[in-house]
Amino acid sequence: MAKTIVVKQIGSPIRRPAKQRQVLVGLGLNKMHKTRELEDTPSIRGMVNKIPHLVTIIEERG
């Protein structure tokens, strides 16, 4: 089984640069307090690290 992480959106994309909004959409997040379980890959980690003020990692599985 592949390792996964649970990512939660904690910030609003309002008044943020378009690139940051695009990263949120790429992660599958679009509403406050929404969570997604994503595969733990370097690309996903990089996306999360680009917007640490908007998302948080709740849990690491696997």
How far is 35 from 23, CA to CA, in rounded Å? 15
3-state secondary structure of 36: strand
**H helical segments located in 1-62:** 18-27, 42-50
pLDDT of residue 62: 87
The pLDDT value recorded for residue 4 is 97
Please write the tens of the pLDDT for every residue from 11-58. 999 999 999 999 999 999 999 999 999 999 999 999 999 999 999 999
- In 3-state terms, what secondary structure has residue 44? helix
pLDDT score at 1: 61
The pLDDT value given to residue 20? 98
Residue 57: beta bridge partners?
Answer: 7
